[in-house]
Amino acid sequence: MNKVERALMHGLFVHLHHNIDQAIDFGALKELNENVAEQWPGALIVGPHDDDDAAVFQVPGVEGGFVAKQESHCSPAVPRPYDAAATGAGGAMRDVVAMGGRPLFLLDFVGTRPLEQEVLVGPCGFAGECTCGNCKVMTSKNRLDLIMQGIKDMCRAMGVFIVGGGLSTSFSDIVPAIVVSVFGKLVTQKPLTKPAKAAGDRIIILGKTGRDGNDTLYRAGLVSEMIPAEALFEEEKQAMEASLAAFKTGKIRACSDLGAAGIGAAVCESARYGGLGARVELSAAPVKAEDLTPEEILICETQGRMLFQVPPDDVDEVLEVLQAQEAPAAVIGEITAEDRQLFTYNGEKVAEIPNKPSQEVLDSLRPSGR
């Protein structure tokens, strides 16, 4: 395993962000929902056990479907509370879009230290003492104001109501809690689910990739400083409207947003959940800077991006719709019948990720080899 393979596989198969089922019994949730469905048949369309970006449900007696997603962005709030809150809200909104919905309403919860206590905000925030000279000492109330401003600014940019939420000032940890729940209305006839549908489908990326957002590398212990993704309000709005326009073609077979671990996670999860593989040429992805490394293009978490899977004969039509929205978009690969995902740059291998890593590999990714 090279460095980026290790980081990506750690995120995909070990870290709880992508493996909630290792901590929560999804089987019990499925059983509960099946029991409730006896009273409300057909109400839950996509649930927590379905390996997808968001939940989809119908309200009995109300026409059409609804989409819901809850997202947390806690650790990034230590160095950048404003961007962390904004990107957490934007990420939850993109998850709603990825299912074929337009986000409409948001609930938020913030947990922080008592308002009068001082907190360290910046690159050294996790250490509790600044050695870089770029951190700021502020009150917990000042940080709360930045968090709420980030959420408000993203909602304003995306046209989303804030309808309520909650606050706790009893937290004692360095990391505050930032949690948002977003609800939207399904605009497609049925949900656009994440799992890949057919070998040969082309993978289209919407949006430009930058080098911000190294959370996956940080969590894997491969970099010493977390540099969270920056809030990109105009790009988020453009990605949403372009996606909704593309959905109207009826040609999108699978869709996912690009959040944690970027292109790497979105492609690998979609292919694996569909029992398929993928090949991606990273040099084809639109980028914000020409000096981005292949590894950065693969794994960085730049906001305002989406992935679509489209039958080969429909690629030109979908690209035309995206370009009409003045949105940067390109074909970067295709779904394959293999049991792996291969990422290349100018034809040279950058990373190869199996759908089913060996137990030996998984053990090596865990702390102390456990």
Residue ranges per domain, the chain?
42-191, 194-370
Q: How far is CA 237 from CA 58, 200, 305, in A?
A: 26, 30, 10
**Confidence (pLDDT) at 310:** 98
List of E strands, the chain = 44-46, 55-58, 65-72, 101-111, 118-121, 136-139, 161-168, 177-186, 202-206, 254-257, 277-281, 306-310, 329-336, 340-345, 348-354
**Contacts (Cβ under 8 Å, ≥6 apart) of 29:** 47, 48, 49
**Confidence (pLDDT) at 368:** 61
| Closest residue by Cα to residue 244 from 105, 104, 72, 107 | 104
Backbone angles phi, psi at 121, to 5 degrees: -115, 120
CA distance 52 to 270: 9
Contact 275, 335 (CB under 8 A): no
- Mapped onto helix, strand or coil, the DSSP state of residue 161 is strand
Please give the distance of CA 366 from its chain centroid, rounded to a whole number: 23
Handedness of CA 237, 179, 83, 160 (dihedral sign): positive
Domain 194-370 is in which class?
alpha beta
| Closest residue by Cα to residue 261 from 311, 208, 324, 218 | 218
In CATH terms, the superfamily for domain 42-191 is: PurM-like, N-terminal domain (3.30.1330.10)
* Tokens standing for residue 172: 């004692």
Contact 77, 281 (CB under 8 A): no
**Confidence (pLDDT) at 79:** 92
Cα 325-296-6 angle, rounded to 5 deg: 130
- Mapped onto helix, strand or coil, the DSSP state of residue 112 is coil
**Confidence (pLDDT) at 327:** 93
**Confidence (pLDDT) at 369:** 44
CA distance 238 to 230: 16
* Tokens standing for residue 50: 């379905």
Q: What does the pLDDT look like over 290-341, one tens digit per residue? A: 999 999 899 999 999 999 999 999 999 999 999 999 999 999 999 999 999 9
Per-10-residue mean pLDDT of the chain, 370 residues long, equals 91 86 91 96 93 94 95 92 96 97 98 96 93 95 98 98 97 95 96 96 97 79 77 96 97 93 96 97 96 92 96 98 95 98 97 95 76
How many helices (H) and strands (E) are present in the chain, helices listed first? Answer: 10, 15
Q: At what angle do helices 140-158 and 81-98 cross, to 10 degrees?
A: 30
Q: Which residues pair with 204 in a beta bridge?
A: 308, 331
Q: What does the pLDDT look like over 114-148, one tens digit per residue? A: 999 999 999 999 999 999 999 999 999 999 999 99
Q: 47-80 burial, b for 16+ CB within 10 Å, e for fewer? A: beebbbbbbbbbeeeeeebbbbbebbbebbbbbb
Q: How far is CA 222 from CA 18, 299, 340, in A?
A: 18, 13, 23
